[in-house]
Amino acid sequence: MAEKQADYRYVGKGVKRKDGVQKVTGAASFTRDMNLPGMLHARIVTSPHAYARIKSVDTREAEKVPGVRAVISGKELNYKVGLYVLDKDILAKEFARYQGEPVAAVAADSELTAEQAAELIKIDYEVLEPVLDPREGMKPGSPRVHPNLGEYGYMKGVFFPQAGSNIPHLQKVRRGDMKAGFSQADLVVESSFYNPQVQHVAIETHVSIVQALPEERVEIITSAQSPYTVRNLFSVCFGIPHEKIRVKVPYVGGGFGGKAGIHLEPLCYVLSKKAAGRPVKLTMTREEEFNTIPCRQGLYSHFKTGVNKEGKITALEVEYVWDAGAYADYGVNIGRAAAYAGAGPYEVPNCKVDSFVVYTNKVFGTAYRGFGHLEVLWGIERNMDIVARKLGLDPVEFRRRNVLMPGAETITGEKITDHHGRVDKCMEAVAAEIGWQGYKTDAERKKEIATGKVRGKGIALLHKAPAMPSFTSTAVVLKFNENGSLDLMTSLVDYGQGTYTALAQIAAEVLKMPVEKVNVPWDCDTSFTPYDWQTVASKGLILSGNATIMAARDCLRQLKSVAGQALRCSEEDLDIGDEHVFIKHNPEARVSYQQLAYGYVYPNGNAIGGPIIGRGHYMAQGLNNLDPETGQGLPALDWTYGAHGLELEVDVETGEFTVLKIASSFDVGKVMNEQQLRCQVIGGVIQGLGSAVTEEFRFSKEGKFLNAGMVDYKILTAKDIPAEMTQHMVETPQLDGPYGARGVAEHPMLSVPSALGNALYDALGIDYFQLPLNSERVYFGIKKGEKEFHG
Q: Which is nearer to another protein, 59 or 499 (CB)?
A: 499
Question: Where is 454: in which H helix or E strand?
Answer: strand 453-464
Q: Is position 27 an interface residue for another protein (rule: CB under 8 A)? A: yes
In angstroms, what is the minimal distance from the CB of 226 to another protein?
Answer: 16
Q: Shortest approach of another protein to residue 709 CB, angstroms? A: 8
Interaction of residue 678 with another protein, rule CB under 8 A: yes
Q: How many angstroms separate the CA atoms of 640 and 404, rounded?
A: 12
Q: How far is the CB of 774 from another protein (least distance, A)?
A: 18
Distance CA 316, CA 337 (A): 17
Near another protein by CB under 8 A: residue from 684, 703, 743, 753: 684
| Contact map string, positions 284 to 303, toward another protein, x by CB under 8 A | -xx-----------------
Assess 693 for contact with another protein (CB under 8 A).
no
Nearer to another protein, 50 or 682 (CB): 682
The secondary structure of 737-773, three-state, reads: CHHHCCCCCCHHHCCHHHHHHHHHHHHHCCEECECCC
Q: Is the dihedral angle over the CA atoms 247, 473, 81, 749 positive or is it negative?
A: negative
Q: Rounded to an integer, what distance in angstroms lies between the CA atom of residue 727 and that of residue 597? A: 42
Residues 6+ apart with CB under 8 A from 20: none
Q: Does 66 bind another protein (CB under 8 A)?
A: no
| 711 binds another protein per the rule CB under 8 A | yes
Q: How far is CA 419 from CA 147, 337, 426, 640, in A?
A: 48, 22, 15, 11
d(CA 777, CA 693): 10
When asked if residue 366 is in the footprint of another protein (CB under 8 A), the reply is no
In the complex, the smallest distance separating the C-beta of residue 288 from another protein, rounded to whole angstroms, is 11
- Residue in 379, 466, 496, 635 binding another protein, rule: CB under 8 A: 496
User: Quick one: DSSP state of residue 451?
Assistant: T
Q: Is 675 in the site for another protein (CB under 8 A)?
A: yes
Q: Which of residues 168-187 bind another protein (CB under 8 A)?
A: none
CA 548, CA 555: separation in Å to the nearest integer?
10
Task: Return the range that interacts with another protein (CB under 8 A); candidates 246-254, 315-323, 412-420, 564-572.
Answer: 246-254
Report the residue from 686, 752, 759, 778 that binds another protein according to the rule CB under 8 A. Answer: 686
Tell which one of 36, 709, 726, 774 touches another protein (CB under 8 A). 709
Region of 494-502, 544-552, 587-595, 639-647 interacting with another protein (CB under 8 A) = 494-502
Q: How many residues interact with another protein (rule CB under 8 A)?
A: 55
In contact, 742 and 667? CB cutoff 8 Å: yes
495 binds another protein (CB under 8 A): yes
Distances (CA, A) of 179 to 176, 316, 390, 419: 9, 11, 21, 33
Binding mask 632-671 for another protein (x = CB under 8 A): ----------------------------------------
Half-sphere exposure of 756 (CA within 13 A, CB side): 30
Q: Which is nearer to another protein, 234 or 666 (CB)?
A: 666
Establish if 338 lies at the interface with another protein (CB under 8 A).
no
**What gap in Å lies between CA 99 and CA 142, rounded to an integer?**
19
How far is 41 from 91, CA to CA, in rounded Å? 17
Q: Mark residue 550 as left, alpha or beta (left: phi above 0; alpha: psi -120 to 50; beta: remaining).
A: alpha
Task: Tell me the residue type at 39.
Answer: M
251 lies in the site for another protein, by CB under 8 A: yes
Percentages of the chain per state (helix, strand, coil), in multiples of 5: 30, 25, 45
| Cβ-based nearer residue to another protein, 23 or 415 | 23
Q: Which is nearer to another protein, 100 or 130 (CB)?
A: 100
- The answer to whether the Cα torsion of 71, 73, 76, 78 is positive or negative is positive
Under the criterion CB under 8 A, does residue 36 sit at the interface with another protein?
no
Q: Is 715 in the site for another protein (CB under 8 A)?
A: yes
Smallest gap from residue 606 Cβ to another protein (A): 45
Minimum Å gap between C-beta 41 and another protein is 11
- Give the residue among 38, 40, 44, 50 at the shortest CA–CA distance from 72: 44
Query: 80: Cβ–Cβ under 8 A, 6 or more apart, which residues?
Result: 86, 87, 88, 89, 152, 153, 237
Q: How far is the CB of 30 from another protein (least distance, A)?
A: 6
**Is 540 a residue that touches another protein (CB under 8 A)?**
no
The verdict on 194 binding another protein (CB under 8 A) reads no
**β-bridge pairing 280-283 and 40-46:** parallel
The CB-of-37 to another protein minimum distance in angstroms stands at 14
Q: Which range, of 114-122, 149-157, 199-207, 633-641, touches another protein by CB under 8 A?
A: 199-207
**Does 679 engage in binding with another protein (CB under 8 A)?**
yes
To the nearest 10 degrees (0 to 180), the angle between helices 752-764 and 373-391 is 30
Q: Which stretch binds another protein (CB under 8 A): 38-46, 406-414, 477-485, 495-503?
A: 495-503
Instruction: Provide the binding-site residues for another protein, judged by CB under 8 A.
Output: 16-17, 19-30, 32-33, 200-205, 251-256, 285-286, 495-498, 675-676, 678-680, 682-687, 709-711, 715-719, 721, 725
